[in-house]
Structure 1
Amino acid sequence: MTLQWISYVWDEPRPATSREVEQLEHRLGIIFPKIYKEVAAQYQGMTPHPAVFNVGRGTNVINVLLTVIEDKRWRTYSIMRAYEAVKPHIPSGIYPFASTPGGEYLCFDYRSSPDHPKVVLVTVEMSIYPIADSFSELMASLHDGRVLLA
């Protein structure tokens, strides 16, 4: 299934420049994975379709890819705002990049590798669940949630 992107934060796509991505990396003190930078620059503030991902024995949904830029009107959807909200409650080295409808965050987990972060889900209770070994793996695993019978 081909991944499509649907407007969410803004009515139309609002690409981020490479400079804006670099400024965010500098503020956070990390380097995002290359494929994430390409996707975020093009689709920040948008929703992927399909958007369902597996977590444990269940599933969850990516609501929106958080924004690289901090639009004053839509600051709620910015990576920096999300990071500031979760930082006091989670281990150092975890950075949000997407949210779920339930207010949870998909995050990069740099704790075991500063060059190849894994993807984890941080729940509203600040529990951390592994999702994928990479952003690419997460994107490739998205599905529409339907169960196919053999």
Structure 2
Amino acid sequence: MEGNTKLEWRFVKNPATEKSLNNLENEFDILLPSTYRILMKLYNGGRPKPNKYYIQQEERVVKSFLNVYPVKGGVKDVVSWLELPQKVIPFANDPFGNYLCFDYRNISYMEPTIVLWEHEKNRLVIVEQSFEAFLRMLKKGVNN
């Protein structure tokens, strides 16, 4: 989890437990990225700062990471009503109703790619090849 800037976290919820993360993995038959597991044990449901990233030179923002516990607005709740392809699991949202997701459909190296679900266009856009790469993008030090 290196980068030029340290991520700060606000509005953090109860830290994820090993059991809560295992429950998510079992529910969706996936293995969560190890860095994501570490972050959720510290900053579950939090809002990162800096929070900007780019897709094809277009600035995007992360509002907050989803709560790993089975609560309203948490990962399981969002999966239950968001019409995503199977093996695409949301982990964060933006202020506009879009969701950052782990895409396990074409998995390589045991790491899912990171995609953005654009709800207005009903499509997935590739953001980064791994969760680590996505975090590096957030930590590049762009002022928020």
Give the TM-score range, shorter chain.
0.7 to 0.9
RMSD: 1.6
Paired position in structure 2 for 1:46: 46
* Deviation string, structure 1 residues 17-70 (Cα, Å, up to 9, x no partner): 101110111111111011111112211111000000111230111101101102
- CA drift of 1:90 comes to 3.0
For 1:48, what is the secondary structure of its paired residue?
Answer: strand
Q: Which amino acid aligns with 1:23?
A: N
Highest CA radius of gyration, 1 or 2? 1
Question: Is the contact made by 1:13 and 1:42 (CA closer than 8 Å) also made in structure 2?
Answer: no
Identity %: 27
- Structure with greater strand share of residues: 2
Give the 5 Å matches for 1:107-146: 107-113=101-107, 115-125=110-120, 126-142=122-138, 143=140, 145-146=142-143
For 2:97, what is the secondary structure of its paired residue?
Answer: coil
Give the 5 Å matches for 1:20-59: 20-59=20-59
Structure 2 CA distance for aligned equivalents of residues 17 and 90 of structure 1: 26
- CA drift of 1:144 comes to 5.9
- Structure with greater helix share of residues: 1
Question: Is the contact made by 1:52 and 1:144 (CA closer than 8 Å) also made in structure 2?
Answer: no
TM-score, normalization by structure 1: 0.84
Q: Which amino acid aligns with 1:25?
A: E
Count matched residues. 136
TM-score, normalization by structure 2: 0.87
- CA drift of 1:109 comes to 0.6
Q: Give the number of the structure with larger relative contact order, counting CA–CA contacts within 8 Å between residues 6 or more apart.
A: 2
Structure 1 CA distance for aligned equivalents of residues 79 and 47 of structure 2: 19
Question: Is the contact made by 2:113 and 2:131 (CA closer than 8 Å) also made in structure 1?
Answer: yes
Give the 5 Å matches for 1:70-109: 70-71=70-71, 75-76=72-73, 78-86=74-82, 89-109=83-103
Q: Is there any run of 5+ residues in structure 1 with no aligned partner, and where?
A: none
For 2:134, what is the secondary structure of its paired residue?
Answer: helix
Question: Is the contact made by 1:15 and 1:44 (CA closer than 8 Å) also made in structure 2?
Answer: yes
User: Which runs of 4 or more aligned residues in structure 1 lie more than 4 Å from their structure 2 counterparts after TM superposition?
Assistant: 143-146
